Amino acid sequence: MDRFDDLLTANKYFASVFTSEDLTGTAVKGLAIVTCMDSRIDPLRIVGMNPGDAKILRNAGARVTDDVLRTLVLATHLLGVNRVLVMPHTDCRMASTDEAGIHAAISAKSGVDTRSLDFQTTADQVGSLLKDVTKIESYPLLHNEVRVMGAIYDVKSGALTPINP
């Protein structure tokens, strides 16, 4: 547990000053954001929202995977989501190398063979974003009122650049 002592100590303080806002599980602003796991990204602040306003789905590269689609089905039918922002970012490792490069880097660092995994790297971040937006828009199990936007977040300037056709 000593590797987590800092987290537990921080949580004790957090809990001591915590006040419940009586939020529900619904997305108050009707938004889901699909973004990268990169710790430089604060999705709610980027779009001027607060806890409870949006659902946040994160993975390496902000890719629309089967799990993202599964989660969006729940969010659009049961949790008030009617808009989806797919938001990859600049300076992303998944857009700066190919699959072989990621596998080689992991193997060199830890000796683990990850070739059975598809990390969904991309040399064309805009093209991949457009495909991911289309994947959501055409997914038959999503609520039919869902609107989708793709935008790339610039980690240096904080700006969002819309990338819809």
pLDDT single digits (tens) 22-57: 889 999 999 999 999 999 999 999 999 999 999 999
**Domain ranges, ordered by start, for the chain:** 22-162
Type and span of the H or E element at 121 = none
Q: Look-up: residue for tokens 């729940």?
A: 74
Average model confidence (pLDDT) across the chain: 95
Q: Are 147 and 83 a contacting pair, CB within 8 Å?
A: yes
Q: Are 80 and 53 a contacting pair, CB within 8 Å?
A: no
Cα dist from 137 to 10, 60, 91, whole Å: 41, 21, 26
**CATH code assigned to 22-162:** 3.40.1050.10
pLDDT value at residue 101: 94
Does the structure show a pLDDT above 80 at 164? no
Q: What's the whole-number mean pLDDT along residues 49-77? A: 97
* Residues ≥6 apart with Cβ < 8 Å to 43: 33, 35, 54, 56, 87
- Answering whether pTM is above 0.85, one says yes
